[in-house]
Amino acid sequence: MPELPEVETVLRGLGPAMDGASFAHVIVRRPNLRFPFPERFAERLSGARVLAMRRRAKFITVALSTGEVLVLHLGMSGRFTVDTHNISVSPGTFYHDTGAAHTHDHVVFIMSNGSTITYNDPRRFGFMTLLGPGEQESYPHFAGLGIEPLGNAFHAQALDRLFSGKKAPMKAVLLDQRVIAGLGNIYVCEALHRAQISPERAAGTISGRGARKVALRERLATAIRDVLTEAIAAGGSSLKDYAQTDGALGYFQHTFRVYDREGEPCPSPGCDGVIRRAVHSGRSSWWCARCQT
């Protein structure tokens, strides 16, 4: 799930249930996810009203009436399930009465509007925390974040500066959250294929002057923006499904051109290459060595 488009989709899915509502009851079923929950996590949330919800890279931030900010990260396997069908059920009893708890349901938010929001995370690489006023700037997870790939400042010229002098391969640089914040393994593979750039190519080689380099940067910037935008659009269309009890996502994988497609023919028009797989920076890459150079 959780690369930028999935986080954006989750944010939009949570909005109707959370935004403007208060936390009526918070159930925390274990002391930690990836990191320990902050002190008195449930108590500090209880009664707080949600003023605004935003995405930053792969984080969701929830501004609260208490002045604190709830920070959510889904890690590898985190997911939220929203149930809005229980408005008449009194908070606090619903969850236990249904007996619907799944094995890795670690946190449950019961909102004042009757929505029940359940966080499930088998691998527990996700985390939640609360930041006080002014703590966002110094929060270590936010401090080093790179440029937002869907922001106005993201364009070919920005890539010129970001890649300048970098000897590391494109794959590693694009995955580095300190350079561009929000890309993950899937969309890096997909964007590189669309831009016909090899994941093994040194990032610095598309920086600098020259019509060819400028064209490559523009292709890559466009590819990144397009693949994220299309994925969000596809996720948005599945929001109705997402909001239902079994929040199975899985909308965009049918449109992957290379991800997890080892051995299949390259989908680029006119290319007769075959998708291959190799491990780069500890993560699998899929690409066409014929048209991606």
Partner DNA sequence: CTTACACCCTGCTCGC
Partner DNA sequence: TGCGAGCAGGGTGTAA
Q: Is 240 tagged catalytic?
A: no
CB of residue 228 to DNA, shortest distance in Å: 12
Q: Is 3 tagged catalytic?
A: yes
152 to 191: interface string for DNA, x by CB under 7 A: --------------xxxx--x--x-x-----xxxx-----
The catalytic residue among 55, 58, 79, 261 is 58
Query: Which of the ranges 90-98, 152-160, 219-227, 277-285 carries the binding residues for DNA, by CB under 7 A?
Result: 277-285
**Out of 12, 124, 225, 276, which residue is the one contacting DNA (CB under 7 A)?**
124
Q: Toward DNA, which CB reaches closer, 167 or 240? A: 167
CB of residue 128 to DNA, shortest distance in Å: 14
**Out of 158, 239, 249, 271, which residue is the one contacting DNA (CB under 7 A)?**
249
Q: Is 58 tagged catalytic?
A: yes
Q: Toward DNA, which CB reaches closer, 16 or 75? A: 75
3-state secondary structure the chain: CCCHHHHHHHHHHHHHHHCCCEEEEEEECCCECCCECCCCHHHHHCCCEEEEEEEECCEEEEEECCCCEEEEECCCCCEEEEECCCCCCCCCCHHHHHCCCCCCEEEEEEECCCCEEEEECCCCCCEEEEECCCHHHHCHHHHCCCECCCCCCCCHHHHHHHHCCCCCEHHHHHHCCCCECCCCHHHHHHHHHHHCCCCCCEHHHHCCCCHHHHHHHHHHHHHHHHHHHHHHHHHHHCHHHHHCCCCCCCCCHHHCCCCCCCCCECCCCCCCCEEEEEEECCEEEEEECCCCC
| 31 forms part of the interface with DNA (CB under 7 A) | no
Q: Is 56 tagged catalytic?
A: no
| 125 forms part of the interface with DNA (CB under 7 A) | yes
Which chain residues interact with DNA by CB under 7 A?
A: 1-3, 6, 34, 57-58, 73, 75-77, 103-104, 122-125, 140-141, 166-169, 172, 175, 177, 183-186, 249-250, 253, 281-284
Catalytic machinery residues: 2-3, 58, 283
